[in-house]
Structure 1
Amino acid sequence: MRLHRNLVFAVVDTLNYIFNEGKYADKEISKALKRDKRWGARDRGFIAETVYDIVRWKRLYAEIAEVKEPFSRANLFRLFAVWATLKGIQLPDWKQLEETPTRRIKGRFDELSKIRKYRESIPDWMDELGVQELGEQKWTKEIAALNHTAPVVLRTNTLKTTPKKLIDSLFSETVETHSLKKYPSAIQLDERANVFSTTTFKDGLFEVQDASSQLVAPFLKVEPGMRVVDTCAGAGGKSLHLASLMENKGAIIALDIYGNKLKELKRRAKRAGAHNIETREIDSTKVIKKLYNSADRVLIDAPCSGLGVLSRNPDAKWKLQPEFLDKIRKTQQEILNQYSKILKKGGKMVYATCSILPSENQNQVKNFLASEAGQEFSLEDEKIVLSHESGYDGFYMARLIKN
C-alpha cells in the first residue's frame, strides 16, 4: 500500500484536534472528509479508519513510540508510524517519518501486549473498575470485544417496508446486507458504506441502530393504542422504533432536556412517517409533574458512562473520568425516582443503559426497588447484553411493573 502525503497529513491534523484540543472524533473526521472534493471513497475510508484506529489504540501506540501528551506534531507522526508499521505498511522516506525504528516497534508491541491495560489501550482506572465490577475473566473478554470496530446495523422501518424488501432495495443501490436471525427488524452491512446518501434512506425505510439497541423497544411490550412516554428520548432512535411497533396508533410523548435533539427527532419522525410522536422539552419540573400517573408504558433510556458502546466511540475511553461515573450514578437514581411517577398502576417501565457496569445497571434497579419511590414496583424481567457474547454493543434493560 502506497501512502499519499495529503491523506497522511489529514490524519495527523485530525488527531491533533482530537487529542490536543479535546474535540469529538466523529465530528472531526466528518470535517476532515469534506476538506478535499477530489478524495474518493477509498481515500475517505483511509482517513476515517486510520484516525479511529489510532484513537482506539492511543495508549498502546504512545507507549510503543515513547511519547507523552500533549502530542507535538512530530509525535503525532510517530504515532502514525507505529500504526503503519504494525499494519505492515512500508513507510516512505519523508522527513516527518525519519528515524522510525521499525524493529523496535514490533519488539515493544510484543512486550506490551502481555499487559491488559496496554494491550487493550485503556486508562489504569478503567481497567481497575472493569475488574472490580465484572471480575478478571469477564472483563478481559469484554474489553477485548469492545476494541473491535462495530459493524453497521440498520433497523427496518416496518411502517414502510419489510427487512426482505429493504435488503432488495439497498442491493439495487449497490449496498449489500444480510438479515440477523435473533433481531427481527435488523439487517447488517456486509461492508461499510455511506448509507445516508441512498434513496432508500431518504425515503425513510431504515434507521442506523445497533442490534443490541434494537432489543430495548420490544422489551417494553407496547401495543397499538397505548400512551407511552420516552423520558430520555434524545434524537429518538427508540421513539421511532416504538412508533413502528405501535403501528402509528396511540401516543408517544418524547421528552428530553435538550431541545436541539428533539428537533432532530421531529425531522427523523417526518422522514420515517411516524405520526404518533409528540416532543416536549423538559425545561422545568412541571413538564414531568403534569405527566404523573398517566402512561401505560415508560421508557427510561438513562444517561450513562457509555462503556458498552466503546467499539463505536473509542475516544470515550479518553474523555471519560471516574468523577463523571459518580455523578452519572446519582443522576440515574434521581431520574428513576422522578420519572417512575409517570407510570399508571398496572403499567410497565423499562430502565435501560448502554453500559456494562452492574453499578449503573442491576444495582441501580435494586436500589430503586428498596427506595420509597420503588415501593409499588416489582422486577418482571432483565436482560444483560455483553459485547463478547453478542458481537454487538453492551446493553442492560430491566422491566418493572407498578403494582
Structure 2
Amino acid sequence: MRLHRNLVFAVIDGLHEIFNEEAYADKVVQKLLKRDKRWGSRDRGFVAETIYEIVRWKRLYAEIGEVAAPFSRDNLWRIFAVWATLRGITLPDWKQIAPTPTRRIKGKFDELSKIRKFRESIPDWIDEIGKEELGKKWDQEISALNTQAPVVLRANSLKTTKETLRSLLEDENIDTEFVKGYPSAVQLTERTNVFSTEVFKKGFFEVQDASSQLVADFLDIKPGQRVVDTCAGAGGKTLHLAALMQNKGQIIAMDIYSNKLKELKRRARRAGAHNIEPRVIESTKDIKKLHNKADRVLIDAPCSGLGILRRNPDAKWKLRPEFLETIKRTQSEILENYSKMVKPGGKLVYATCSILPSENQEQVKKFLNTEVGKDFTFLKDKKILSHESGYDGFYMALLEKKQHQGT
C-alpha cells in the first residue's frame, strides 16, 4: 500500500483536533471528507478508517511510540508511524517521519499485548469498572467493543419490506444479507455510503444497529395507542415505533434539545411517518401534562455509551468517572419523573446503550423500590453484550403499571 501525502496530512490534522482540541471524531471525519473534491471513495475511506483506527488504539500506539498527551505534531507522526508499521505498510521517506525502529515497535507491541489495558487500549478506570461489573465477561466484551461495527439498516415497513429493500439495494450494486432474529434488519456485506442511494432518499430504510432495533419491539405497542418517546433525540427509535404502529395512533417525541427534534421532523417526512408530534421539554410542566395519559412510554435514557464504543471509539477518552456518577443520578431522576406518564395498565421500557449493570438492572431495581416505582411490576429485561450478539451492547427492561394503585 502506497501512502499519499495529502491523505496522511488530513489524518494528522484530524487526530490533532480529536486528541488536543476535544473535538468529536465523527464531526472531524465528516468535515475532512469534504476537504478535497478530487478524493475518490477509496481516499475518503482511507482517511476515515485510519483516523478511527488510531483513535481506537490511541493508548497502545502512544505507549509503543513513547509519546504522551498533549500530543505535538511530531508525536502524532510517531503514532501514525506505529500504526503503519503494525499494519505492515512501508513508510515513505518524508521529513515528517523520523527513522522508525520497526523491530522495536513490533517487540513492544508483543510485550504490551499481555496487559489488558494496553492490549484493549482503554483508560485504567474503565478497565477497573468493567472488570468489577462484568467479571469474567469483561475480557471478551472489551475486545468485541474494539472491532468495527457492521452497517445495519432497518427496512421501513411504512414503505417497503426487507425483501424488496434488499433487491432495490442490489440494483444499486449494494450487497446485503438478512440478520436472523431481527425482523426488519438488513446488513451490508461490505461498508459503503448508503446515504447517497435513491432508496435512502425515498425513505425506504434507516441506518440503525440491530440491538437498537430490538427496543421498539420490546415496548409491545399496538396501532392506535398513545406512545411517548421521552428522550427521542434525532428519532431512530421513534421512527421504528411509527412503523410498528402503521402510522395509527399518536407518538409524542420529547427531548430537551430542539435541534435534535428538528432533525427528527426531517427524517419523519422522508420516512412517511405522520403520527409523530415532536415536543421540546422546557420544564417539568411538559411532563406533568401527560401524567397517567400514555399507553406506552419509552425511556431511552442518557448513559455512559459504553455499549457503543465500536462506533464511538473516542468516547472512551472523553468519558470521566465523575460523568458516570452524574449520569446515574440523571437516570434515576428520569425514571422517577417520566414513568408518571404511564397510565394504569400501560407499559414502560427503560433502555440504555450501556453494558454496566449499575446503569441497567440496578437502576430498575432501585426504581421499583421507590414510592413511584411501587406502582410498577417488572415483566422482563434483555441484556445484550457485544461479544455475544455481534452488535452494540444494550439493555432494556419492560415494566407494567398496576391497574389498581394503592390496593
Aligned to 1:47: 47
Alignment match, 1:373 = 372
1:129 is aligned to 129
Corresponding residue for residue 210 of structure 1: 209
Amino acid at match of 2:58: K
Which structure 2 residue ranges, 5 or more long, are not aligned?
A: 403-407
User: How far 1:87 moved relative to its partner?
Assistant: 0.4
What is the rounded CA distance, in whole Å, between the counterparts of 1:303 and 1:150 in structure 2?
21
Q: In the alignment, what sits opposite 2:264?
A: 265
SS in structure 2 of the partner of residue 224 of structure 1: coil
CA-to-aligned-CA distance 1:260-280 (integer Å, 9 cap, x gap): 000000000000000000010
**2:98 and 2:72 mapped to 1: Cα distance?**
15
> Is 2:153 the partner of 1:146?
no
- Aligned-partner SS, 2:149: coil
2:189 pairs with 1:190: yes
The alignment partner of 2:177 has SS state of strand
Letter in 1 for 2:116: R
Contact 2:78 2:98 in 1 (8 A): no
Q: Deviations over 1:212-235 (max 9, x none)?
A: 000000000000000000000000
1:62 corresponds to which residue?
Answer: 62
Deviation readout 1:88-146 (Å, 9 max, x if unpaired): 001111111122111100000000000000000000000000011111x2000100000
1:147-162 aligned at under 5 Å gives the runs 147-162=146-161
Q: Does 1:32 align with 2:32?
A: yes
Counterpart of 1:359 in structure 2 is 358
User: What is the SS of the residue equivalent to 1:96?
Assistant: coil
Alignment of 1:168-187 (within 5 A): 168-187=167-186
Q: Which amino acid aligns with 1:284?
A: S
> 1:95 aligns to what SS in structure 2?
coil
Q: What does the per-residue CA deviation read over 1:26-61, in whole Å, with 9 as the maximum and x for residues that have no partner?
A: 000111110000000000000000000000000000
Residue in structure 1 matched with residue 281 of structure 2 by the alignment: 282
Structure 2 letter corresponding to 1:28: V
CA distance in 2, matches of 1:254, 1:52: 32
Counterpart position of 1:84: 84
For 2:386, the equivalent position in structure 1 comes to 387
SS of 1:296's partner is strand
Matches within 5 A, 1:315-334: 315-334=314-333
Q: Report what 1:396 is aligned to.
A: 395
1:375 is paired with a residue whose SS is: helix
Specify the code of the residue in structure 1 equivalent to 2:94. W
Question: Distance in 1 between the 2:107 and 2:97 partners?
Answer: 19
Per the alignment, in what secondary structure is the counterpart of residue 35 of structure 2?
Answer: coil
In structure 2, the residue corresponding to 1:398 is in which secondary structure? strand
Deviations 1:347-383 (A, max 9, x none): 0100000000000000000000011110110100100
Paired residue for 2:21?
Answer: 21
Q: Give me the whole-angstrom Cα distance separating, in 2, the residues matched to 1:239 and 1:9.
A: 40
CA distance in 1, matches of 2:271, 2:2: 43
Cα distance in structure 1, aligned partners of 2:285 and 2:245: 27
Structure 1: which 4+ aligned runs deviate by more than 2 Å? Answer: none
Deviations 1:172-228 (A, max 9, x none): 111111111110100001111110101100000000000000000000000000000
Paired with 1:219 and 1:193, the residues of 2 have a C-alpha distance of: 30
